[in-house]
Amino acid sequence: MKVLAISHLPEEKFSSRQHLGFLRLLSNYCEYEFLSGYTIFQNNWKAVDIYDRYRPDVVILYDSHAPKGQRPLFPVGFFSPNDATARWAGARPIGSPPFAGLPKVVMLEVDFWKMAGANPPSSQEVFGNMQWYTSNQFDLIIRRGCFKGRKDVDGIPSVWLPFSASNEFFPQTLKRIQKVGFAGAFAYNKEITDGIIAYGQRRKAMQLLEDAKLLVRCPECRSLNGSREFYPQFLRSTVMSLTSAEVRSIHGKAFEIMASGTVLLTPDFDHKHALFGDTECFVEYKADCSDIVEKAKEILTNLKKQARISENAVEVIKKYHTSEKRIAELYEHLSNLVSNKPLTHRWEV
C-alpha cells in the first residue's frame, strides 16, 4: 500500500511530534510520501497531476484548512471524480461502487465543521458546513480529538484516533522543581464554537497559578525549533504541568506530559475512562479554575502522591498510548479502507 499525505505547509513547518512527524511512522508499515500544498499551487497541479506523479493507493489530507488570509488548500470539488479528476475513479478494488474514486482520508486536529463563526470569509467554503467534505467525496474522517465519540458525520464514516506520546518523552534522570510548568499557546482571543473562547480557560488557569507563584513557562517551546529541542526536557523539569480542555477534548500535550512522568493538571475531558480507565494518573481542576491553586499545592507538597500519579501515568501511556501503538491503529484503518473492510472503532464509547 502506498500512502500520500498532503498538507498546506511544508513538512518542516510542522511539529515533529503529533503532526506530520507522526504520519512519517507509516513508513514502517508501507510506502509513504508527503506533498506540500505549496508545491501544488506553484505547479498549478490538479488532482489528476498528483495521481500521475505519485500513484497512491490512499490519500491523507492533514488539517487541510487554510491559514488565516489564505485560500483553502483544496476548494470544493477539487477531489470530486465528476470532472477533470476522473482519473481518480476506478482506483478501488473490483466490486466497489462505480466512480467511488481513490480512497481519500481527512485527518483533523479540531472539529472544523463546528467552527463557522471563527474563520475569515475566505475560508467559509471549508469551515462551518459539510459541503467541502461531501463535495470532495472523502471516504473517511479521522479525528484526533474525541468530539463526543461520534462515528460518522453526515454519512462520511469517522473514527477517533487519539493523540499519543513518542519515546522521547519517557522519564530520564532529571532534577525537578516543585512548580507547575506550562508550554504552549495562550494569547489567543477569538470564539471557537458555541461561545467558547480559544484558550480562555488556559489563560485564567495560568493567571491564577502565576499569582500564587506556582507557574513556570517555557517561551522557547513556542518556536518550531524550541518545540523539538526544549519542549521534551522542559516537561520533565517540573513536578506538574498544565493543560486545558476548552472544548472538552484532551490535547495531545496531555499524553506527552503523562509520558514524561510529570503530573498532568487538567480540567475534566470527554471519554477519560475510555482512555485511562479508573487509574489515578492525572489531577483534575474545575472548569472555572476555582480550585486550581488548591489542587496544585496539594500535589506539590505531597511527594508520595506525586510519585503514585506520575508512575501510573507513565505505565498507562506505555501500555496504550505510545506513537508506535497509535500508528499501527492508523495503518489498520487505512488498510481496511483500501480493502473495503469494516472500520474498527476501538476508542469510541
DSSP labels, 36-86: EHHHHHHHT--HHHHHHHH--SEEEEES-PPPTTS--SS-TTTT-TTSTTG
Model confidence over 292-344: pLDDT tens digits?
A: 999 999 999 999 999 999 999 999 999 999 999 999 999 999 999 999 899 88
Residue 59 CA: distances (Å) to CA of 5, 336, 337: 6, 14, 11
Portion of the chain with pLDDT greater than 70, in percent:
68
pLDDT of residue 330: 96
Q: How many CB atoms lie within 10 A of CB 153?
A: 17
Task: Please report which confidence band the pLDDT of residue 98 belongs to, taking 50, 70 and 90 as the band edges.
Answer: very low
CATH number for position 219:
3.40.50.2000
For residues 119 and 176, membership in a common domain is answered with no
Note whether 190 and 197 are within 8 A (CB): yes
What range defines the domain where residue 59 resides? 2-164+323-338
Residue 60 located in a structural domain: yes
pLDDT of 230 strictly over 90: no
pLDDT of 234 strictly over 60: yes
Higher pLDDT, 52 or 14: 52
Model confidence over 173-207: pLDDT tens digits?
A: 678 999 999 987 666 555 444 444 557 788 899 99
Higher pLDDT, 78 or 235: 235
For residues 89 and 50, membership in a common domain is answered with yes
Q: How far is Cα 349 from Cα 17, in angstroms, rounded to an integer?
A: 26
β-strand 58-62 against 196-197: which pairing, if any?
unpaired
For residues 188 and 151, membership in a common domain is answered with no
222-236, 241-255, 286-300, 328-342: the lowest-pLDDT one: 222-236
For residues 160 and 250, membership in a common domain is answered with no
Find the mean pLDDT for residues 128-145.
70
Mean confidence (pLDDT) of the chain: 77
14-28, 181-195, 273-287: the lowest-pLDDT one: 181-195
Residue 349 located in a structural domain: no
pLDDT of residue 19: 72
87-96, 158-167, 169-178, 207-216: the lowest-pLDDT one: 87-96
Q: Kind and range of the H or E element at 341?
A: none
For residues 189 and 124, membership in a common domain is answered with no
Residue 14: closest CA among 225, 230, 313: 225
pLDDT of residue 341: 92
For residues 9 and 157, membership in a common domain is answered with yes
pLDDT of residue 322: 96
Find the mean pLDDT for residues 243-254.
84
Higher pLDDT, 279 or 94: 279
Q: Work out how many domains the chain is built from and give that number.
A: 2
Q: How many CB atoms lie within 10 A of CB 12?
A: 9
- How wide is the angle at C-alpha 85 spanned by C-alphas 105 and 23, nearest 5°? 25
pTM of the model: 0.83
Higher pLDDT, 67 or 13: 13
Residue 343 located in a structural domain: no
DSSP labels, 124-184: TTTSSSSHHHHHTT-SEEEESS-GGG-SEETTEEEEE----B-GGGS--S---EEEEEE-S
What CA dihedral angle connects 185, 65, 151 and 313, to 10 degrees?
-20
